[in-house]
Chains A and B, each alone.
Chain A
Amino acid sequence: EDQVTQSPEALRLQEGESSSLNCSYTVSGLRGLFWYRQDPGKGPEFLFTLYSAGEEKEKERLKATLTKKESFLHITAPKPEDSATYLCAVFGGSNYKLTFGKGTLLTVNP
């Protein structure tokens, strides 16, 4: 069974303080790893898809990287508007469904 573990559960940063969120996964035959951002009371917003180890993708202050066992979401010089829950999900093997982690709640203080 596919598994996704995200850490930490919650992270508080000061504005401008860079950090990383972790997503560890167990899947048979990774077809894709996905990062989403979710604001309170809203649906998840798609950020990135990573397909193979060594792949990196960037969007504004966010950069996602992928290894064979985990993915990192690096946040450079965050701003308060980056505060949200960040979700990681994997799509693997012959299974048609995404398996989600429980998310990391990021709070960026001004």
Chain B
Amino acid sequence: SQTIHQWPATLVQPVGSPLSLECTVEGTSNPNLYWYRQAAGRGLQLLFYSVGIGQISSEVPQNLSASRPQDRQFILSSKKLLLSDSGFYLCAWSEGDTQYFGPGTRLTVL
């Protein structure tokens, strides 16, 4: 069966510091991978989407970036965090139309 992992589970970072969140999927090959952000009182916002290694589509212009160095690894990064980057970050994978989500990373930027 397929499993999706995210780490860290929680993170507290000062404004201006770098960020690296990692997501890995087990039990499937060549999945589509997604990064979402969920802010309080708002729906899930798609940040990045990848159909394969090195292929990244960005949905929202911002100071975040994503990379897919391996088939089942997806990384979300920032060189300098802003207060507005705080939120719950979710990685998801899909086969066909259905997306399956990871446990999430709670990021607080102070």
Contact = CB atoms under 8 A, between A and B. Distances in A.
Interface of A: 4, 31-32, 34, 36, 41-46, 49, 87, 89, 91, 96-98, 100-103
Contact of B101 (A43, A96, A102): A43
Contact residues of A: prevailing secondary structure: strand
B59 interface: yes
Interface string B41-68: 1111010010000000001000000000
A101 B42 CA distance: 8
Contacts of A100: 43-44
Contact residues of B: prevailing secondary structure: strand
Contact of A43 (B41, B97, B103): B103
A4 B44 CA distance: 12
What interface size band does chain B fall in?
10 to 19
A87 to B, nearest CB: 7
Nearest to B57: A96
Given A31-B97, A34-B98, 17 more contacts: A34-B97, A34-B99, A41-B104, A43-B90, A44-B44, A44-B90, A46-B98, A46-B99, A46-B100, A87-B44, A89-B44, A91-B97, A96-B49, A97-B49, A98-B46, A102-B42, A102-B43
